[in-house]
Structure formats: C-alpha cells, structure tokens
Structure 1
Amino acid sequence: MFEWTGRFDGDEESYHRIFQRVKTETDYETINPNDFVLHGFAVDEGVKRNKGRVGAQEAPDLIRKNMSNFPVVNPEFSLKDFGNIKCENNDLETTQNLLAEKVSKVLSKQGKSVVLGGGHEVTFAHYSGIRKAFPNQKIGIINFDAHFDNREPENGLASSGTGFWQIAQEGEIYSLHIGIQKNSNTRKLFEIADDFGMKYILADEIYSENIPNIMFTINSFLEDVDMVYVTICMDVFNTSIAPGVSAPAYNGIFADRQFMQIYHHILSSKKTKALDVAEVNPNFDIQERTARLAASLVNEWFMI
C-alpha cells in the first residue's frame, strides 16, 4: 500500500494537506456518502495490446505522490484509498471485472469513485462498475481524449483502444468526447462514432470565441443523462505539458483558461459521480509533468 507523506505544517484542519486526510482502507463498509474513494488501476496490458508504449502501470503511485501536498480546501473532505489493482498473467478481462466490482461497491455506498490509471482500458472497467451499481440509470460518459477508443477488438481481445466499442455492444451509449484529433482517428473511427451516436468536440474547436457553443453542447448532454462519469486520457494534452503518455500529441490541447472553464463546469455538476485519469507513462515523463498535471486534474474535483 502506498505511504502517503508530505509537508507537515500543523495538526489544525486549516493546515491540512491531502496526505493528512487520506485513510488507507480494505473494508468497503467504512465508506460514507460523499467520500472520495480511490483505486489505482496499475495496468497497461491494454496499451500493450493496442501497440502503444507500455509503462502506464507504474503511474498510480506517482500520481498519488503528486497529489499528497495539495491543500485541503473543503472542511468535510474525506479520501479513502483502497490501493492498486494489478493485472496478473496478462488477464486484462479479469482485472477489469475486479475494478468494476470494487467501483460498484463504492457507488452503492454513495461514495465518489476516483481511479488512477494505468492505460485507458480503465474506461470499460470503470463504466462497468457504474452500470453494475446503477443498472437502470442513463450513464453519460465525458471523455477528454485525442482518440475515440472505439476500435473493434482484434482477434476478440479488448485493449486501451476498444473501450467505447465494448460499451456500445451492451446497449445504447451516451458519450461526449472532447479534444478529438483529426490526425489521430481514421475516417472509419469517425464513421463508427457517428453510427454509435457518440457526440464529440474536436480539439480545433476549443478556443475562446467558441466556448458558448461548447457549453451549450455540454449542458444539453448533462440534461439528457442521469449521472456522469468523466475519463481523461492524458494524451489529449499537448506534449509540452504532458510528455509522459503512451501516444504523445504535438498539437494537443492545453490546460488553459478555456479548458479549465469547461472542466470545472462538468465537475461542478451534481450528476458527476466518477472520475479517472489514464495513460500517464512515467517511462517517458519529464520532471513528472504529466503525473503532476493528472494529480492536479483530480484535485480540481476535490476542491469543488
């Protein structure tokens, strides 16, 4: 289990940093409503199957390290850490099912699910857990990603690029993809997205003058679903701020004012119940920039 440590300024709550408010747990009965509940998905078997750069399985603890010193803003903030899930014997499917079971327990206790990837094969696992807990709810997925991840599995094997295809096979899919790159998806993948009814906002469309249109799209999506799951593939960001990913993007988006306006708006919705970050690859990171950015994005939810 990861040992949470950080700068100690005092015991009073007003001095607290995240490491002082984390409880490492194994018993899901300890979860209270509105607790943030953390799992690490230390898996990149799906990236390997998708012919990407492996290494994301090492990311969860590095992200935790970069989360540790953030100050606690909300007095009621509570974070319970249930450790990492690892992939044994290259058995991705069993590992995904294990995470789904754990996420279902969290949400059944009215906790808020946070997962640190690992590869973006976390999407199908995380979503499956939400659906298991709320089988009759309309679950909306907001995916910040350069890629649709809607490939049909090769030889029947799921990967980091097949999550949304898998979800669509189980029924109607409700997803909004933000940051999609034209040069990262074949025409066939765009056609599949259209066939599945996947909504998307291109990276090229994210600029200040277009924010009202983007907000309209997001609000329409939020109104149409019962709950929201946010998944962030770190390769949506420009390689200068996120060099440590499986598929770097020279023209990715930035975590600038426009992005944060969009992101905060989504996190502020009471329908948002789950969040994960994926594809941080410590093998290629520089000065832990990508891990730090991923940690910061998670922390934004903690502060709302």
Structure 2
Amino acid sequence: MSEFRHMMPAGKALFKDRHTTKANDLLQSYTSGMENEFGMAGVPLSKPSISHSGASFAPSAIREALKSFTTYSGEEGMDLTERIIDFGDIYMSPTDIIGNQERIVEGLTDVFATKAAKNWLVLGGDHSISYSSIKAFAGGKKVGVIQFDAHHDLRNTEDGGPTNGTPFRRLLEDNIIKGEHLSQIGIRDFTNAAAYDRYASEQGVTVYTMADVDRLTITKILDEEIQRLAEITDVIYLSVDMDVLDQAFAPGCPAIGPGGMDSKTLLKGILFASHYEKIQAMDIVEIDPSIDFRNMTSRLAAYVILQFMKGKKNR
C-alpha cells in the first residue's frame, strides 16, 4: 500500500468490478509440471512477409485485447475458468529469417513436448510461422489442417524464399502433410494465381471459395471436412489467417480486401470446429497492430480464442 493517499503502483490504478473477471486474467505463466486444458505461445515473426507487416507485434496485442472481454458466456450461462498456460514468446533474431523459422520449430517442439495442455494456441506473426508450428505439432503424427484464408499460400519458394505466401507449399513438399490432409476455406476471388489453383488441385487439396461458403454455410463445410480429416489423420490443426475476413472486419491485416467473411461467420465456424476432440491446436496469424483501427482486428482474434475455449468446455 502506498504511503500517499489514493496512490497505487503505475498501471494498477484501474477500476475493478468485484463480480467481473477479465479474460486476460486467465493467462498464467508456465512453471514446470503445470498441466491444464489450454496452452499458448507467441511467435513474433513478420520479416518473411511479402507485403509490409508489423505482425511481430500481434502476440502482445492479442494478449492485451483479452482485457476487452469477460470470462462469462451469457449465451451458455457459464464462466471460462480454465487457465491458459502462457509459455511466452519465441525469441526472433532481427536478421536471421531462416534461423528464426528453425528456432520456431525447436521452441514449439519443446513446448508441445511438455504435454502441459490438451489444446494449443499459437499467436503469430505472419503466416510463415504456420510451417514451423505445424511441423513441430506433427511430431510424427498425421496432422490434418483446416486453413481459413483468402490465399492459398502455396507460392513457389524459388521467387522469394520461405515467405508468408509459402507455408503450405513447404509443408507439402517436405512431406509433413499430404494434400488430402489440407482443407482451405474462404479462398477469395482475384487474390490468387491460376498456377496455385492448379497446384492445389494436383496435390489433392480441398478448396472452398468464399462463394462456396456463402452457398453451403460454414458449419456444413466444417462438419464435412472435420469428419473427413478425422478418418485419415490423428489430430487436426486450425490455421486462422485473419485476412479471410472482409476488410471491413479486419482493418489490421496487411493484405486487406473486399469480399471476405464477416466476423460472425468466422466466430461461428471456430465455435463449431472446437467441439471436435480431434481439433487440438489453432494458430492466429496476419495481424499488424500498427495499422489496425481501435484494435479491432486484435480484439477479434481475442474473441476467436474465447470461442475456441467455449467450444472445448461445452462439447
């Protein structure tokens, strides 16, 4: 207690409602032997981004955005009480892009090996981090991947190296996943090249465009794809590129564009998918807090985390 009247430590002089728990209060730093339902790690990498990106700032921004929400779901009449074991962020060199991607594999391999959590949350970073994260998560298992994205991210590596446009190409070429184990949802018109459309088809990747999402609905697509992947893989990983959303809902994405999902569709999809036991990991990528508007995109990412947690608790 301060010796001065009304004075509190810097950053602590905040209004506190005794009946309200903020979602960021669920974060708990990892200590050896700890186990819980959810684990989290940040991967602050955006150097390999094709376009200008400050996505390296996103892990901190998303954690901060959890303060915007409470732990209580009025729709379900329940509180989220499970702690999120937070392993912190992986160190990124300012110049060594290839080394950084290798460090992500090594760092996340160590994190996943603790078996401290049943379900994992990985905060990017640009989409290049998904190659390393999925490689670490696989660990000899057959991994199915459901990718929410406007882009295929199947670009060749000859033209620019391992950028945020290449993670799924690299996963396929390195035999970490098979084409039939990858499902892409929300692929947008006038956003990809014909060569990568053909490559997806040749590799047996399942692709749903935004027109398909509008026609079939997100829950019908996910139900079909999760059941299909559950039969041929051991675990399923969700990769959520926030630019799957229309620019009106995600102004903080480096590659904004019209014609994408609205936020309710994405949140409905995450909630639906998280009910399935085989879905055990999710990354959230491609948010640049430096260009966001009132933290809209980071707040939406935080809400995605809460939907994932709600679905896991309520399955």
Q: TM bucket by the smaller chain?
A: 0.7 to 0.9
Q: Report Cα offsets for 1:148-205 as digits up to 9, x if no partner.
A: 1111113572110110111011222411111001311111001111122211111111
> Is 2:245 aligned against 1:237?
yes
Larger radius of gyration between Structure 1 and Structure 2 = 2
Q: Distance in 2 between matches of 1:72 and 1:189?
A: 41
Which of 176, 185, 195 is the matching residue for 1:188? 195
Counterpart in 1 of 2:227?
219
1:56 aligns to 2:55 (yes or no):
yes
> Which of the numbers 167, 172, 179 marks the counterpart of 2:171?
167
Pick the aligned partner of 1:24 from 14, 26, 29. Answer: 29
| Equivalent residues of 1:140, 1:228 under 8 A apart | yes
- Whether 1:143 and 2:174 are equivalent positions in the alignment is no
The count of residues paired between Structure 1 and Structure 2 equals 289
Partner of 1:67: 66
Q: Please say if residues 115 and 275 of structure 1, whose CA atoms lie closer than 8 Å, have aligned partners that are also in contact.
A: yes
Amino acid at match of 1:278: V
Q: CA deviation at 1:247?
A: 0.5
The one of 232, 251, 255 equivalent to 1:247 is: 255
The offset of 1:6, in angstroms, is 7.8
- Counterpart-to-counterpart distance in 2, 1:204 and 1:299: 27
| 2:132 paired residue among 111, 117, 125 | 125
TM-score, normalised on structure 2?
0.83
Aligned to 2:272: 265
Aligned counterpart, 2:292: 285
Aligned pair in 2 of structure 1 residues 203, 271: CA closer, same or farther (>3 Å)?
same
Q: Which amino acid aligns with 2:294?
A: Q
Q: 1:41: which partner in 2? A: 43
Shift of 1:108: 2.9
Given that residues 45 and 87 in structure 1 are in contact (C-alpha distance below 8 angstroms), is that contact kept between their aligned partners in structure 2? no
- Structure 2: gaps spanning 5 or more residues: 1-10, 73-78
| Structure 1, gaps ≥5 residues long | none
CA gap 1:283/1:249 in 2 versus in 1, 3 angstroms: same
Rounded to whole Å, the distance in 2 between the matches of 1:7 and 1:81 is 25
Partner of 1:154: 158
Higher mean Cα deviation, 67-76 or 288-297? Answer: 67-76
Structure 1 contact 124–166 (Cα < 8 Å) conserved: yes
CA contact (8 A) 2:43 2:59 kept: yes
Partner Cα separation in structure 1 for residue 182 and residue 53 of structure 2: 27
The AA in structure 1 aligned to 2:106 is: E
Distance 1:86 1:229, change over 3 A: same
Q: 1:150 to 1:211 in 2, by over 3 A?
A: closer
* C-alpha distance in structure 2 between counterparts of 1:4 and 1:276, whole Å: 31
Distance 2:111 2:13 in 1: 25
Which structure 2 residues correspond to residues 107-118 of structure 1 after superposition, within 5 A?
107-110=112-115, 111=117, 112-118=119-125
> Which residue does the alignment assign to 1:8?
16
Asked if the contact 2:128–2:167 (Cα under 8 Å) also holds between the matched residues in 1, the reply is: yes
Answer yes or no: is the 8 Å Cα contact 2:219–2:272 preserved in 1.
no
Q: Deviations over 1:89-125 (max 9, x none)?
A: 4222222222223322333333122111111111101
